[in-house]
Amino acid sequence: LGAAYAAPYLGRLEDSGVDGLALIGQMQSLLAGTSTRLLVASVRSRAAYLALLGLGVGSITIPPKLFTELFDHPATLDAERGFLADAAALGD
């Protein structure tokens, strides 16, 4: 139909008893080779976000509370502490 985006709501699909990730995976496959892309909304967990990336979905909306789950990974926090310690040592 020429739409730029189709916007499935993952959380709402799952609330209705549908395997949302499986359905979005099917949609992604069906849209391959077209100009239409998925814009997935209602993503409620880090695991769902990562699964969508694994399916090749590149446009995902997330609630603000999910930002910390995505960026506050132990390895990232350790790297940040190391960077800040190195920067502080340069200032001495």
Number of domains within the chain = 2
pLDDT of 18-33, one tens digit each?
Answer: 999 999 999 999 999 9
Q: Based on the domain organization, do 52 and 71 belong to the same domain?
A: no
Domain enclosing residue 76, as ranges: 65-92
Helix (H/G/I), strand (E/B), else coil: 73: coil
| Residues 16 and 50 reside in one and the same domain | yes
Residues 49 and 75 in one domain: no
Pair (69, 55) in one structural domain? no
* Same-domain status, 50 and 78: no
The model's pLDDT over 72-81, given as tens digits with 9 standing for 90+, comes to 778 888 898 9
Looking at the whole model, is its pTM more than 0.85? no
**Residue 11 shares a structural domain with residue 45:** yes
48 and 22 together in one domain: yes
**Same domain, yes or no, for 55 and 75?**
no
Residue-level pLDDT at 30: 94
- Please tell me whether residues 25 and 41 are part of one structural domain: yes
Q: How far is CA 91 from CA 80, 86, 87, in A?
A: 17, 9, 7
> Is the domain of 7 the same as that of 51?
yes
The stretches of the chain forming alpha helices (DSSP H) are 10-15, 20-31, 46-54, 64-71, 74-91
**Do 48 and 88 have their domain in common?**
no
